[in-house]
Amino acid sequence: MTTQLRRHTAWCALLALGLAACGHGSDHAHPDESRAEDEQEHAHPAGATSVTLWTDNTELFMEYPDLVVGQEAPFLIHLTDLSDFSAVTRGALVCNFESSGTSFEVTAAGPARPGIYIPTVRFERPGVYTLELLLDGPQVHDRIHVQKVKVVATHDDLAHSDEGEETGAISFLKEQQWQIDFATMAVAERPLVASVSALGEILAGPRNHADVPALVHGVIAADQNRNLPLPGTWVEAGEVLAVISPPTETGSMLMSVRNEFLLAQSEYERAGRLYKSQAAPQRRLDEARLRYETSKATFDRVARDVDFTANDGAVHYHVTSPIAGGVVEAQVHLGQSVSPGDVLFSVTDPRRVLLEARVPLSHYRKVGRVLDASFVVEGDDANYRVSDLDGRVVSIGSTIDPVSRTLPVLFEIANPDLRLKIHQFVEVALHTGDTIVGLAVPVTALLDEGGQSVVYVQAEGESFVRRTVKTGIRDSGFVQVLDGLAMGEHVVTVGGYQVRLASLGTPTAGHGHAH
């Protein structure tokens, strides 16, 4: 089937659906709809033309039949708001045709259906026209210029080429694109920093993680531990996590520390008064001060964690968090007996974390120049950069792991909004400092199909082509394309999997052309 015949068949179906849609449920009905439908039933256009253009704000996909002087021709104009790749649903569209000093306008007050304007145009003179589309509405304001709109005097002047149908074209309609998360981007040159690829992991830093042990024998009594923190609870440094009720002998020992301090304090104060009144020598004052300072140091260490003023008259030992952070583990329950050294809680401060990259041995010589890195984590499409996260290189390992045959490289980074989770796996690109300029596309455009890197190119508004590409450097969410794409081609960056399903004939959301 030739391209012209394929377009003719599609045009007939689309036009019938489009005109029917305009006559049913549209807020912007056209007065000549009935006449156009009658003409469609009896007139068969010999061909159809499609145009796809992009501005900074709008994507245009326009289809129109062969244009003959004196005959009305409906233009199917699909407009996409590129701010979010949604259908344009509001605003008037002015179509200004101009050729050899002759110009006229046709206005569509609004879309016949979301994203689709269907102005009907009648030409009085043949020629090659330029078309300026002025979209004026609260959603998008834009001007789009279309060249070489050809109008002939009679049907006999039509000339159709016998070009073959494009091989491998995938149909993915605008209605389908508008109903899913979808986006495209033009292939362009970008500066890219050379990098070394590695796998890695997000880890807690040694200064940002603490195991909290019991330091005395005792019991986690129910009446003293009504609010044991659960995993995930945020705690502050010094906050009480649990209360241990020690046995009598331990309580007595702790009380003796307190009593010894109070006695030494009293003796020191008394010696000071006597020395001041010359009733005691300097030596006695010095000895009292020494005993006081020694007992105070011991008592201060104990008093930080021991409550000597409990209402029940007993001594209670407070288990406190040494750092601020989230409780990762709570290995304690009511009524539990604990001993010194038993880890009761693990607390991690995730506001700064470590990024560990495991560099393959084949690239270990390159990492000596690493000052920065970019990475993605599992479960998150965002691309992160160490330098953007107030990060720095902590260390470059000097020992090769004998099992994985990799070299560890550590970065310390901030964790914005706590989005990075401890033990998340990461894909890292360690920047080696060399910069090149090359064709690049977002990493999200790449799909892995049977071990090949594949992208989907938007050949026309509703037509896509599968391309196998050869890739190079990855940097800040973009990947260098060494082969398979040309400058200016538009690739699918979001929604590529749905285009792939369409190529397999698999039903996807929004299937069906509803002009």
303: pLDDT confidence band, cut at 50, 70 and 90? Answer: low
- The alpha helices in 125-247, defined as continuous H runs, are 174-178
User: 421-480: per-residue pLDDT in tens?
Assistant: 999 999 998 988 778 899 999 999 999 998 899 999 999 999 999 999 999 888 878 999
In contact, 79 and 88? CB cutoff 8 Å? yes
Relative to beta strand 67-68, strand 141-152 is parallel
pLDDT of 141 over the 80 cut: yes
User: What share of the chain in percent tops pLDDT 70?
Assistant: 84
How many Cβ atoms from other residues are within 10 Å of residue 460's Cβ? 16
Q: What is the greatest pairwise CA distance in the chain?
A: 134
Q: Which of 222-226, 286-290, 490-494 has the highest mean pLDDT?
A: 490-494
- pLDDT at 161 (0 to 100): 56
- pLDDT at 193 (0 to 100): 85
Residue 457 zone, left/alpha/beta (φ > 0; ψ -120 to 50; rest): beta
User: 77-119: per-residue pLDDT in tens?
Assistant: 999 999 999 999 999 999 999 999 889 999 999 999 999 999 9
Identify the CATH number of the domain defined by range 247-314. 1.10.287
- pLDDT at 219 (0 to 100): 94
- pLDDT at 162 (0 to 100): 52
Which residue from 118, 80, 74, 110 is spatially nearest to 92, judged by alpha carbons? 110
Which residue from 502, 484, 467 is spatially nearest to 170, judged by alpha carbons? 502
- pLDDT at 416 (0 to 100): 87
More confident position, 199 or 156: 199
- pLDDT at 252 (0 to 100): 64
pLDDT of 31 over the 50 cut: no
312: pLDDT confidence band, cut at 50, 70 and 90? Answer: low
pLDDT of 284 over the 90 cut: no
pLDDT of 41 over the 50 cut: no
Q: Quick one: which H or E segment has residue 126? A: none
User: What share of the chain in percent tops pLDDT 90?
Assistant: 60
- pLDDT at 160 (0 to 100): 64
Which residue in the block uniquely carries the two structure tokens 């607390």? 347
Average pLDDT, the chain: 85
- pLDDT at 95 (0 to 100): 97
Lowest mean pLDDT among 72-86, 125-139, 154-168, 241-255: 154-168
Relative to beta strand 372-377, strand 490-494 is unpaired
- CA torsion sign, 301 to 305 to 306 to 311? positive
146: pLDDT confidence band, cut at 50, 70 and 90? Answer: very high
CA separation for the pair 260, 275 (Å, rounded)? 22
The mean per-residue pLDDT over the stretch 336-365 comes to 94
For the chain, the domains span: 3-165, 184-204+351-503, 247-314
Cβ neighbors of 165 (< 8 A, separation 6 or more) are 1, 2, 3, 6
- pLDDT at 506 (0 to 100): 60
CA separation for the pair 349, 415 (Å, rounded)? 10
- pLDDT at 17 (0 to 100): 42
- pLDDT at 23 (0 to 100): 38
First to last CA, the chain: 24
pLDDT of 3 over the 80 cut: no
User: 377-397: per-residue pLDDT in tens?
Assistant: 988 878 899 999 999 999 999
CA separation for the pair 447, 466 (Å, rounded)? 10
pLDDT of 26 over the 60 cut: no
Lowest mean pLDDT among 28-32, 198-202, 281-285, 449-453: 28-32
- pLDDT at 88 (0 to 100): 97
Enter the pTM of the model.
0.63
One fold for both 184-204+351-503 and 247-314?
no
* CATH class for the region spanning 3-165: mainly beta
CATH topology of domain 184-204+351-503: Elongation Factor Tu (Ef-tu); domain 3 (2.40.30)
